[in-house]
Homo-oligomer: A and B are copies of this chain.
Amino acid sequence: MPSEETKILLRESEIPQRWYNINSDLPAPLAPPIHPGTGKPLGPEDLAPLFPMELIKQEVSMEPYVEIPDDIMRIYKLWRPSPLYRAHRLEKHLGTPARIYYKNESFSPPGSHKPNTAVAQAYYNKQEGVRRIATETGAGQWGSALSFGCCLFGLECTVYMVKVSYEQKPYRRVLMETWGATVHPSPTTLTKAGQSILEKTPDSPGSLGIAISEAVEDAATHDDTKYSLGSVLNHVLLHQTIVGQEAKAQLKLVDEEPDVIVGCVGGGSNFAGLAFPFVKDKISGKEIDIVACEPESCPTLTRGLYKYDFGDTAQLTPLVKMYTLGHTFVPAPIHAGGLRYHGDAPQLCLLVNQKVIEARAYHQLTTFEAALTFTRIEGFLPAPETAHCIRAGIDEALKCKDTGEEKCILIGYSGHGFFDLGAYERYLADDLVDYEYPQEKIEAALKDLPEIQEPV
């Protein structure tokens, strides 16, 4: 019987004990990452300066499950199992026969799903004697999560924060500092990458690409320091699968199986965390629409090419096969700062390419409209990123109203919007716009894609 309750809760003892590794179930093999210098497939030794060995093993593991260590589980329990909500009020408001559920990851201390991997990454670094972790952050969600994770394991954390965000979002910075992190506005004079940018452009506002280069260089040039990434990589997506496994157990408690799953996609870790445990079922034959929601102004999955590309603007990272808008792509200044990456996680891209996962793009205004409806009906204020799949969920529920179908819709509620009220203010003041991304501009950026022969 579908839930009459508002929140479907698991006990702490019911938290899944293992992460689910989609590598073991992918319908086609993942193309290997390529070394940017040699043009050859990357080996573990190439990653060793940047990541602890256990994470490198997870990155390439084909085992279907990875046990979650007790020390990580203890910290997960600060907010896990996260509640699965039945959106009774929203259903009634829409007049839909659909049943809408949302998996609420906003109650973690940093306010999003990000700490599911930040805590795990901090743990494995601590285990292998690392003293400090360097990372980049754009809008600040990932930097906050890693600061939190490092703080709880007694690691130092250095965050290269895109300068324009550093200046515009001081409270995000302060949150990281409250957890003890050191936050630098990037580009800095602390790295060669930063110095070379500042020599050419002293007033550079920074970019995620530059910040990645700085954090990678910091880690590569300090023996006691490693690097950490908040999305895209296999091990990051792996850690997030706790979300979907919990959601599945929660739905089972109320005799439900999802007909539609919607989640927002920046680099792909939030979406994969919710969706991958259900992708396994879909590959085994279950009928589920699994929909990745991205911004029209950064339409990686819907209008990008499925090709090898660099992860960063400066072409320092390995090349991976993914949908990409080109590493020179410059996103429009939408408020869903976490959804502005030119590429996406290779595992997710393969599943989109194999048509297991469908991708849809949404304009900014319609996502804020959905967010406002959600806030005024369900009460909770979503992040602008989350608003993308709320839009998709509402649209699906309205389709059911037309067709009379009683579908079960699962929304990935990835984070709260308490740090995004500047965006809501502009939306309420009718001061937000949509950004039509011209096809010519995308094609121009895609011209710069490197020509890589996929290894057999």
Let me know if B174 and A109 touch, CB within 8 A: no
How distant is the Cα of A424 from the Cα of B378 in the complex, in angstroms?
A: 30
Cβ distance A228 to chain B, nearest Cβ, rounded Å: 18
Q: Which of A105-150 contact B (CB under 8 A)?
A: 107, 109, 111, 148
Interface string of A144-186 (1 = CB under 8 A from B): 0000100110000000000000000011001101111000000
Q: At the interface, yes or no: A425 with Cβ under 8 Å from chain B?
A: yes
Interface string of A6-38 (1 = CB under 8 A from B): 110101110000000000000000000000000
**Copies of this chain, whole number:** 2
Q: Please report A residues at the B interface, Cβ cutoff 8 Å.
A: 5-7, 9, 11-13, 74-75, 77-78, 85, 88-89, 107, 109, 111, 148, 151-152, 170-171, 174-175, 177-180, 372, 375-381, 418-419, 421-422, 424-425, 428
How distant is the Cα of A62 from the Cα of B174 in the complex, in angstroms?
A: 48
5 further contact pairs, Cβ within 8 A, besides A148-B379, A171-B422, A174-B421: A109-B379, A109-B380, A151-B379, A174-B422, A175-B424
How distant is the Cα of A148 from the Cα of B375 in the complex, in angstroms?
A: 9
Known contacts A376-B179, A376-B180, A380-B109, A425 near B151 by CB under 8 Å: no
Interface centre among A85, A171, A178, A419 (most CB of B within 10 A): A178
CB nearest to A152 among chain B residues: B379
Let me know if A7 and B77 touch, CB within 8 A: yes
Interface centre among A12, A170, A372 (most CB of B within 10 A): A12
Let me know if B9 and A428 touch, CB within 8 A: no
The interface residues of chain B lying within 8 Å CB-to-CB of A379 are 75, 78, 109, 148, 151-152
How distant is the Cα of A51 from the Cα of B450 in the complex, in angstroms?
A: 70
Cβ distance A7 to chain B, nearest Cβ, rounded Å: 7
How distant is the Cα of A271 from the Cα of B197 in the complex, in angstroms?
A: 54
The interface residues of chain B lying within 8 Å CB-to-CB of A107 are 107
Let me know if A381 and B175 touch, CB within 8 A: yes
Known contacts A171-B422, A174-B428, A178-B375, A74 near B109 by CB under 8 Å: no
CB nearest to A78 among chain B residues: B379
